[in-house]
Amino acid sequence: MKKLIIIAKEMRIKHYIKNLLVFLPIIFSHNLFDGMLFIKSALMFLSFCFASSAVYIFNDIADLKSDAANPLKKKRPIAAGQITVASGRILCLLSLLACLGLSFSLPLECLLCVAVYIVINILYSVKIKNIPIADVSCIAAGFILRVLAGSFATGIRASDWLILVIMSLSFFMGFGKRKAEIDKEEARTVMRFYTKEFLNGCMYAMMSVSIVFYSLWAIDDKTIALLNSDKMIYTTFLVTLGLFRYMHITENSENGDPTEIIYTDKPLLLIITVFAVSVLALIYIF
């Protein structure tokens, strides 16, 4: 059991929450309870889960020496010696094979999305993580690819406004993560190119356009016709509240990782839960 826990930690299972984005196309098209479309989305979700695990393991092996000297990252299984490099490579290969195997059961575009995601993240691990702006762009690209993959898997076109919302939110959270790292002694190399003022400016800009894009999506005639409801605009309040909460956390905490914040910050978790319930209720009940 202990070994399984260590493997789960190395595979970053709690980060799988990000891959739920593949379900957005069927959620916002009244097809969440369509059995076949749900299965296709679930397969895409699992494919991205294994893909992200493969990327995390690859990165941990590539950064073994620097992680071992980092007060926080040295606790990762490979850096801590709980998993050998050889075992890590095998685990990475198995995750990659599982990812590709699941993708092959879906349209070719899904496989391409996963392949692009893996290539981008390998490039990120090797080089791009040390290039300012480009590092955050890679993070944003990963989120957009998840939504596109969910769209290709089900044949349901994702709204252009929705893609823009995901893009701006991804940049917002990416810059927030960098801001939380800026004063740390063990900060990554790229942090010497950033200042807190610059990152704050980027976050304010992305927060603003995120709210605008979401509002435009909510009042778009196509959205209203598709959801058979003009009440989605009221959920903009919850989106705005959530963004302000995340901004406040990054300003007053050293933790800027979106996944960690979602799991640990109760107010933000409550906002997200109420938002999710509200959206589902407006789409499928009212």
- Output the pLDDT for position 68: 77
- Output the pLDDT for position 66: 79
- Output the pLDDT for position 258: 80
Residue 102 lies in a domain: no
- Output the pLDDT for position 1: 75
Q: Are 22 and 45 in contact (CB under 8 A)?
A: yes
Number of separate domains in the chain: 1
Structure tokens at 175: 């810059």
CA-CA-CA-CA torsion sign (150, 157, 208, 204): positive
pTM for the whole structure: 0.92
- Output the pLDDT for position 108: 94
Residue 280 lies in a domain: yes
Residue 182 lies in a domain: yes
Residue 24 lies in a domain: no
Residue 200 lies in a domain: yes
Residue 272 lies in a domain: yes
- Output the pLDDT for position 186: 58
- Output the pLDDT for position 182: 80
Measured in degrees and rounded to the nearest 5, phi and psi for residue 10 equal -65, -35
Q: Are 114 and 103 in contact (CB under 8 A)?
A: yes
Question: pLDDT 10s digit of each residue in the chain, 286 long?
Answer: 788 899 889 999 999 999 999 999 999 998 999 999 999 999 999 999 999 999 999 999 988 887 777 777 788 899 888 999 999 999 999 999 999 999 988 999 999 999 999 999 999 988 898 899 999 999 999 999 999 999 999 999 988 999 999 999 999 999 998 888 886 655 677 888 898 899 999 999 999 999 999 999 999 998 998 888 889 999 999 999 999 999 998 887 766 678 888 888 999 999 999 999 999 999 998 7
Domain coverage including residue 258: 159-286
Residue 127 lies in a domain: no
- Output the pLDDT for position 184: 67
Of 165, 170, 172, the closest CA to residue 215 belongs to 165
Residue 150 lies in a domain: no
Structure tokens at 182: 């800026």
- Output the pLDDT for position 75: 84
Of 118, 105, 112, 117, the closest CA to residue 39 belongs to 105
- Output the pLDDT for position 63: 84
DSSP labels, 19-70: GGGGGHHHHTTT-TT-HHHHHHHHHHHHHHHHHHHHHHHHHHHHTHHHHHTS
Q: How far apart are CA 175 and CA 36, in angstroms?
A: 37
